[in-house]
A and B are shown apart, each in its own frame.
Chain A
């Protein structure tokens, strides 16, 4: 059945709207992600105390918090379909591409909310200083796109593997490593006091961008096999 681009867009937004509505009723995934983020941030903040650390350490801590918070809730978008047994109905009403993109956008929104709350709190709780706010926002945004792009397919695999939530981080980590290394390098540059502008991190930005494009394309090709299982 051929899908026109308008049809795809409508279906995609319908899937997204449905997921947002479900999420708004229970707020399970959002609560899990945010509370996990705040808890780890508190632990980090207490363990640092009054000490002031290297920019590289701050960058690593921030991305560790973001990574594990994301791991605690991003799979929920597919697990919910399996738990309520609605996957089959969804399969009938929309094609895999629309479903994947809808879920991807939903996860991206969750991650952006997480970052909007955690990143300022992180700067308040620690002594990290952002020398280039705009670049910092760009890195966080690209990081969220890449993170969502790579983990949404893994989330689908997890939900089909009989909801093995413990496996999520295990499966996602080796795949996310290039992204994490790139994001941490770029964030280190932004946290260091003598900033040298966009040129110093353009390589990392390109990496994050390329990674997001490749992972989303690969997911679009592979999602069908996971979903129609």
Chain B
């Protein structure tokens, strides 16, 4: 229970302080406050993907449908956060780069992540039998995750990045944020990650109950 209260306090802190502290990027101005929400969302969408893959591996090892519920729950939440990150990023791009979409490397990778999530759900919806569905979806999830390092290597070669490359970590690897920014950004990162894991436990329980209900009836 205590950590749900902590999420609440952290979220309130982030929402209030994101608007009270000076904007994180003076050059961009007030619009750069979206940084406090956009970056954690993108981070969570990747964590969720990783989490889903871990439970997929677990499912293949132990063959228990409960692990598949967890993998599905993580993927569902990941899709929501991926969508939010895409939309907030697109709005931010309109303000700073004058267009909603321009195939910046990070825009490309988040778009591919959306496509992979989409393909994962398309595959699941195509199969009736729960065991077969779980197994094939798990294999696909692992197979898709393996390609991610290639994307990180290959995509920046197509287009130069418009993303501010030194907003979080500068070229020498040190954290390049002012104290005020850090005081909001890191709580936000923690709050969003905890929020994901909380939603994950709830979604997993719901999916498990649903599955058992269908099995009984």
Give chain A's interface residue range (CB within 8 Å of chain B): 20 to 34
* A43 close to chain B: CB less than 8 A: no
Across the interface, name the chain B residue whose C-beta is closest to A163.
B126
B135 and A177 contacting across the interface, CB-CB below 8 Å: no
17 intermolecular pairs with C-beta atoms under 8 Å apart: A153-B143, A157-B136, A160-B132, A167-B123, A171-B122, A173-B115, A174-B144, A177-B147, A178-B147, A178-B150, A203-B157, A207-B153, A210-B150, A211-B150, A222-B139, A226-B139, A229-B136
Interface residue from A182, A207, A222 paired with B143 (Cβ < 8 Å): A222
* Interface residues as binary, A148-176 with B (CB distance below 8 Å gives 1, 0 otherwise): 00000110010011101001001101110
Q: Chain B interface (Cβ within 8 Å of chain A)?
A: 60, 112, 115-116, 118-119, 122-123, 126-128, 132, 135-136, 138-140, 142-144, 146-147, 150-151, 153-155, 157-158
Across the interface, name the chain A residue whose C-beta is closest to B131.
A229
The A-B contact count (CB < 8 A) is: 85
Across the interface, name the chain A residue whose C-beta is closest to B147.
A175
A173 to B123 Cα, complex, angstroms: 13
Provide the residues of chain A in CB contact with B143, threshold 8 Å: 153-154, 175, 218-219, 222
Q: Which of A184-229 contact B (CB under 8 A)?
A: 185, 203, 207, 210-211, 214-215, 218-219, 222, 225-226, 229
* A181 close to chain B: CB less than 8 A: yes
Taking the closest CB of chain B, its distance from the CB of A183, in whole angstroms, is 10
Other contacts beyond A161-B127, A167-B119, A225-B138: 20, CB < 8 A = A161-B136, A162-B128, A170-B118, A171-B119, A173-B115, A173-B119, A174-B119, A174-B144, A175-B143, A177-B147, A178-B151, A182-B154, A207-B153, A207-B154, A214-B146, A218-B142, A222-B143, A225-B139, A226-B139, A229-B135
